[in-house]
Amino acid sequence: MKGLGRHLIIEFYGCNPEMLANDERIKKTLLRSIEVMGGHVKGECLYKFPPYGGITLLIAIAESHVSIHTWPEHGYAAIDIFTCGSNMDPWKAYDVIINEFKPRKFNVTDIRRGILEEGTVDNSHTIK
């Protein structure tokens, strides 16, 4: 079933806290992951949270975005890789990221976004 995009929602557990607080290394890793999957960077926003150095980094790409939120004090990272179009494989970016972070445990949800074919279920509803 084809859709307008793919969205990987990733959770990493048991990561090195120093890695999770290293904004330069994280940015370099995400940029490399975008390059590997053929994305085109359009802008970025980074914030480092005191006191533990958790990082939020959002990189906008022409094909959607890649983002990360880290909690070094818990060894945890939440990552989104959202790609639009049929030419990009978010799993290529995932391979770069997991090889750099080396989590002890992880969970990945792969969502197909914008499935527009006839016969698909319409889960939309209006809240009154």
**Residue 64 known to be catalytic:** yes
Could you say which DSSP state residue 4 is in?
A: S
- Give the Cα separation of 109 and 6 in Å (integer): 10
Residues 56, 46 contacting (CB under 8 angstroms): yes
- The one catalytic residue in 15, 33, 64, 65 is 64
Count of CB atoms situated within 10 Å of the CB of 95 = 14
- The one catalytic residue in 15, 84, 124, 125 is 84
Name the residues annotated as catalytic.
64, 69, 84
